[in-house]
Structure 1
Amino acid sequence: TLPIFSQCGCRITVHLGRCPTPPIQQDFNVIKITARTVWYEAEKLPAVFERGKCRQATYSLLHDRTHTLTPCPLAPNPSPYLTCLCVCLGSPGDPYLVLSTDYRSFSLVYSLLECELIYLVCSVDVAWIVSRTRSLPRDVISRLHSDLEAIGVNLRCLTVSDQTSCDTVA
C-alpha cells in the first residue's frame, strides 16, 4: 500500500494489482436507496475529486433503470497537474457498489478505481459511509469499519467528515 500526497493535500491509497471484487448488498433495491433524496457523508477514504465540509449526495433513478449520483460541488482545482491524476485514478463517474445498507439510516459505498501505467496495474480504494442524518451511532460506524477491514481497506486512512454548522437540507 502506497500513500500518495498531491499538491492540494489530498491523500489516496494505491495498491498494486487489480481491484478486488467485494461482496455487495444482497437483494439490493435501487428504488429504496433513491426513495429519499439526501445522503450525508459521515466518513470516507480521501479522494482527489472531493474536498470540503458538509458533503452530501443525492442518488437518482434514471429512465433506463440505472442510477446516478449527484455530489455537492467539487472543490476548485488548485493545480493544473491534478486533472491528469483525476483522469487516471478515477472520477465521480466511476461505478459505485453498495456493500451494505439498511436504506433508512446508513449505506457503505465502495468504488473500484483502476489505473494502468505502462506495465503496472494499480487499484485505489475509495469508500464512503453515508447517513440519512448528519451523524451515525458509534455501533453502526464500528460495524461498517469491520466490513471495510474484511475487504482489506486500511481504516487509518478513513477521515471523519465535518457535518458541523451545516444548513439543513429539506
Structure 2
Amino acid sequence: MSSLYLLLLLLPLVAAQTFHWGPCNTPKVQPGFNLQQYLGRWYEIEKLPASFERGKCIEANYSLRKDGTIRVLNSQFDQGKRRTGEGTAVVRDLTEAAKLGVSFSYFTPYSPYWVLSTDYTSFTIVYSCNDFFRLFHVDFAWILSRSRFPPRETVQHAKDLMTSEGIDLTRMKATDQTGCKDE
C-alpha cells in the first residue's frame, strides 16, 4: 500500500516529463567516446519535455575541472532573463566512458547522461532515464549541435538513430534558438 502512495506522490513530478510504463531502455552508447573532443559548447536543438528547461536559446558548456570532474554550465533565456545552472558530470566507468553521470546539486545522486552518438563537430545525441521500481520510467533525450541551426538531415539522422534504439520521440519538441545573443 505504501508503494501506491509513493507512486501517487511521484506522478505530479513526472507529468512534465516523458513517462512510460516498465523499466528504462538500454540503448547502445558511442563506442570509443573521447571526452576531450566532446568538451565545449553545445546548443539544444530538440528534446523530450523536461520541466527544468522551459526557455529558449538553451545551451550547455562542458569543461574539465582540475579534479577530473566535468563542469556542466547550462543556460537558457526564460521570462526575460538569462538563467544558468551549474552541475558536475563524472565518467562512471572508463570501459564505458560515454555513460556519464550528472548532478546539479550536492544533495542529489548522479543521473544518467549517456552519449548515444556524436561526431564531436556537428551533433550529439544524449539520453537519460530514471527507473522507478521497474514499474515505470521517466526518460529524457536531447539532440545537441555545435551550431544553433544544424542541417535538417543531421536532426533527422539523430531522430532515426534514437528510434532504432527504441526511444519514443512522439513528444520531442524543437528548442527555440532564434533571437539569441550570439546568433
TM-score, normalization by structure 2: 0.69
The count of residues paired between Structure 1 and Structure 2 equals: 145
Distance 2:121 2:177 in 1: 19
CA distance in structure 2 between the aligned counterparts of 1:124 and 1:97, rounded to whole angstroms: 14
- The structure-2 alpha-carbon separation of the partners of 1:91 and 1:67, relative to structure 1 and needing over 3 Å to count, comes to closer
| Residue 70 to residue 40, structure 1, CA distance change in 2 (3 Å) | same
Tell me which residue corresponds to 2:118. Answer: 101
Provide the C-alpha distance between the structure 2 equivalents of 1:154 and 1:51, rounded to a whole number of angstroms: 20
Q: 1:29 aligns with which of 34, 58, 79?
A: 34
**Runs in 1 of length 4+ with deviation above 6 angstroms?**
none
Identity %: 41
Are the aligned partners of 2:49 and 2:172 in contact in 1 as well (CA < 8 Å)? Answer: yes
For residues 77 and 24 of structure 2, the distance between their equivalents in structure 1, rounded to whole angstroms, comes to: 25
Inter-partner Cα distance in structure 1 for 2:71 and 2:59: 14
Contact 1:49 1:91 in 2 (8 A): no
Output the aligned Cα RMSD: 2.7
Letter in 2 for 1:16: W
CA distance in 2, matches of 1:46, 1:157: 7
1:16 aligns with 2:21: yes
Q: Letter of the 1:99 partner, please give it.
A: L
Q: Counterparts of 1:110-121 in structure 2 under 5 Å?
A: 110-116=127-133, 121=135
Q: Secondary structure at the match of 1:54?
A: strand
Which ranges of structure 2 fall in alignment gaps of 5 or more residues?
Answer: 1-10, 80-101, 105-109
Conserved 8 A contact 2:127-2:142: yes
Of the three residues 66, 70, 74, the one matched with 2:73 is 70
Distance verdict in 2 for CA 1:65–1:130, change over 3 Å:
same
Q: TM-score, normalised by structure 1?
A: 0.74
Following superposition, the deviation at residue 154 of structure 1 comes to: 2.1
